[in-house]
Amino acid sequence: MFKTTIFPRFSDTDALGHINNTAFAIWFEEARLPIFKIFHPTLEVKSWPLIIARIEIDLLAQTYWGKDVEIRTYVEKVGNSSCHLRHEAWQEGNRVAKGLAILIHFDYKTNHSKPIDDGIRQVLLSHQKTSVAEV
């Protein structure tokens, strides 16, 4: 599991005074940085080896500005060329959102997916959690 702490920006709030739903996609992307580094340690965009195939987000509770949000990221599944990640957002001990991101190991020159190397696979599997506990 990876943990990332986000301090919500004032601009992440909406007219109702809580964090806007669009912020979670950005926060979950930020929390994927350790996964990106497993695939591509330099983070050089000209040789980027990933593409996102799917994201989904469930909002579970209101989230507020002025209080840290901890994003927990788990590897759920590693396929031949895909990696399924689960995200959870926590604020003050409450799970406020959860999400899924499916990344594809991708070759932009051929415009096709490519198998995940065994070394990368082993590192990903060391961060695997088969299910995120429901709270």
The identity of residue 107, as a single letter, is D
Closest Cα to residue 107, out of 96, 116, 95, 98? 116
Does the pTM of the predicted model rise above 0.75? yes
Q: What's the 3-state SS for the chain?
A: CEEEEECCCHHHECCCCCECCHHHHHHHHHHCHHHHHHHCCCCCHHHCCEEEEEEEEEECCCCCCCCCEEEEEEEEEECCCEEEEEEEEEECCEEEEEEEEEEEEEECCCCEECCCCHHHHHHHHCCECCCCCCC
> Which backbone phi and psi does 81 adopt, to 5 degrees?
-130, 0
* CATH class held by domain 2-125: alpha beta
What are the residue ranges in the chain where pLDDT is below 70? 130-135
Per-residue pLDDT reduced to its tens digit, 122-134: 999 999 985 544 4
Bridge partners (DSSP) of residue 55 are 101
pLDDT for position 134: 42
* Rounded distance between C-alpha atoms, residue 17 and residue 59, angstroms: 16
Give the pair of three-digit tokens for residue 67.
């209080």
Q: Domain-by-domain residue ranges, the chain?
A: 2-125
Burial of 120 from C-beta contacts in 10 A (0-12 / 13-18 / 19+): middle
pLDDT for position 130: 57
